[in-house]
Chains A and B, each alone.
Chain A
Amino acid sequence: MRKLLCMVSVLACLPLLSHAQTDEEKGHAIQLETERRDAGFDNSMYDAVMVLRNAQGEESVREFTFRTLEVAGDGDKELGVFHRPADVRGTAILTFSHGLKPDDQWLYLPELKRVKRISSVNKSGPFMGSEFAFEDIASWELEKYTYRYLRDEVLDGHDCFVIQNTPAYEYSGYTRQVEWIDKAIYQPRRIDFYDRKNTLLKTLTFSDYNQYLDHYWRAGRLDMVNHQNRKSTTLFRKNYRFRVGLSDRDFSESSLRNVQ
């Protein structure tokens, strides 16, 4: 019994003994803190404007509304409803994320009033023809990656941890991501994405952070630059609203059919 107590006390002290931490443990601990600080928002929604630019600089615009419901003990539920371009207006995507298990995803086509299942294999496919892949738009869950602390670095005046995230889920288009996490707000400032050949593919930068409910930080602007095809996408997230009374019922087949 005394031996057991001794072990428990040693285990309890481990997080304090930072010099004894491996880089993996430190990376995980930092992301655990990121998750802890972001938990408890319950539900939220925002309006998005996405500007797609091709290599010639020609732009096209997408608009959608995104709703999120926090689910205790599982990944978030998300509903995206598109408003622009006009021909896809009222199209909606409902996602139940499940961490390491495959997500459940449905597409609603308003012209036919049809609900279709989407395969969860399609993680690396482009979201709305943009440089964001489905896996970039999907909700971040702690268990989706393994982590390794790389270094501390000042990025554009922000004191950051630099962490390597390795996808633990199947069908990712990335071997790894390198993420700069702002020490002050525990939110990403930049993510470099490395493709399956471990070549730098894309860089995502986060800016225009605002704090909501005196607690939750959200970036108002995300810039994704593809270094290989020289296309880019800017995602503006506006009108963030938290705790707007969303529940499971707002993320059901019936809510999908009532989108439009």
Chain B
Amino acid sequence: MAHRPYTCSGSAGLWIACLMLGGCMTGAVRAADWSGFAAVDLRAFPDTPAFAGQSGMRVVPSVALQPEFRHEWNEGADRLTAIAFGRVDAADSNRSHVDVRELNWLHQGAGWSLRAGVGKVFWGVAESRHLVDIVNQTDLVENIDGEEKLGQPMLNLNIPTAYGNFTFLYLPYFRERTFPAPRARLRFSLPVDQDAPQFASGGRWHPDWAVRWSRTFGNWDVGIAHFMGMGREPRLVPRFDAGPIPTALTPVYDLIHQTSLDAQASLGNWLLKLEAITRSGQGRRFAAVVAGFEYTYYGLFGSSADLGLLAEYHYDGRDRSAPPTPFNNDLYLGARWSLNDAHDSQVLAGVTTDLETGATMFNLSASRRLGEKWKVELESRMFQSIPPTDILTGYRRDDYVQVRVARFF
């Protein structure tokens, strides 16, 4: 737990000694602070699969576990964080996986902080696409929304100043994206062979760098960042194992430069959001933008519930030699209903439409806490009118409804 007083202060060695003695001290000492969650998911697919060889399971169970460990010493100036994640999935052998989400040491000095080890950094403000977020690789098998991330080895130096926050990142090791197994649902028309990636730099050990400056100007928060190194989004190159028909897609990771801008503003009931990038190294240099707003009605009909209305426009100018994206010219419309009750009940529903092809994706997520330690979550996605040219065409028969029951500890 952050910033709790510890009498067991001093060196890391002393702490390790404390830990080995099995929490030898009493009172305020918290030698080992464990937390995390365990979850059971049931994912139901009403339609039969689109491709021969895909699992015909209509209800796919899976279980996940995320143990978390934290310890602070030096009155909170130093902290060790360890977070592991694992899932076993009945239908997707690639989704049955383990990952070190975090394993890092944070030191907070006077006017700077350094995080060394495996960590996670998120940049961005938009709801429907995470365009500027580039530090951590997407754990795509966990969720196609791109919000689940793999742990990234890093040195992360943070310097807050009167002129804004400066972040410097050295990322020595590359993590490749996870993709569903050929038998699994929610895969592309051709399965991606996640175990045979190609790296422009030759291997996973490659020094990537990123720098970000962010600052608040009145109602506005602005961030500008630059990343140089292996892009997290792979090109997907058809592989011909036997004859002229491709059998799989090979992920190819290129060296890129990406400069990004993110901004959000709070103006009364309006929350304005902007993310923009320009990237070179994958085809001709291109730009992409997400821009939109969230307008919130507070205290709906005299209750304590809030209703937020969201709209976000997507533009992406990449050419066909760049990694595929469904967001080239799309509009997202959504609604967020927060009950603000003791159970923290929330519903978010949205629909993303391709303005050129009419391809449509519906999203629904809802959650409610039960008692002190349980949470039930509902998630549903539906795909409609996806043309064969859209990267998401492989999802066209993969509408699903998922119920998750999680126990926090």
Contact = CB atoms under 8 A, between A and B. Distances in A.
B266 interface: yes
Contact of B344 (A124, A129, A173): A129
B284 interface: no
A252 B122 contact: no
B408 A125 contact: no
A114 B135 CA distance: 13
A19 interface: no
B11 interface: no
Given A88-B344, A253-B165, A258-B108, A119 B122 contact: no
Contact of A113 (B106, B120, B221, B304): B120
Interface stretch (A23-31, A79-87, A146-154, A179-187): A79-87
Contact of B306 (A85, A104, A125, A257): A125
Contacts of B122: 112-114
A139 interface: no
Interface in A103-135: 104-106, 112-122, 124-126, 129-130
A253 B264 CA distance: 14
Contacts of A45: 3
Contacts of A117: 221, 264-266, 271
Given A113-B122, A117-B221, A249-B111, A87 B299 contact: no
A188 interface: no
Nearest to B110: A249
A52 interface: yes
B189 interface: no
* Most chain B CB within a 10 A radius of its CB, from A89, A104, A119: A119
A65 interface: yes
A9 interface: no
Given A85-B408, A129-B343, A254 B265 contact: no
A260 interface: yes
Interface residues of A, number: 46
Given A85-B373, A87-B369, A119-B271, 18 more contacts: A84-B372, A85-B369, A86-B35, A102-B268, A106-B221, A113-B120, A113-B122, A116-B125, A116-B264, A121-B296, A124-B298, A125-B340, A252-B165, A253-B221, A254-B113, A254-B167, A259-B2, A260-B81
Interface of B: 1-4, 35, 37, 70, 81, 106, 108, 111, 113, 120-122, 124-125, 147, 158-160, 165, 167, 214, 216, 219, 221, 264-266, 268-271, 296, 298-299, 304, 306, 340-344, 369, 371-373, 375, 406, 408-409
Query: What are the 7 closest A-B residue pairs judged by CB atoms, nearest first?
Result: A86-B408, A113-B122, A129-B342, A252-B160, A254-B160, A117-B266, A254-B158
Interface of A: 45, 52, 54, 60-61, 65, 81, 83-90, 102, 104-106, 112-122, 124-126, 129-130, 171, 173, 249, 252-255, 257-260
27 contacts: A45-B3, A60-B342, A60-B371, A65-B3, A86-B35, A86-B408, A87-B369, A87-B408, A89-B1, A102-B219, A104-B216, A113-B122, A114-B122, A115-B221, A116-B264, A117-B271, A119-B266, A119-B268, A119-B269, A125-B298, A126-B340, A173-B299, A249-B111, A249-B160, A253-B221, A254-B159, A254-B165
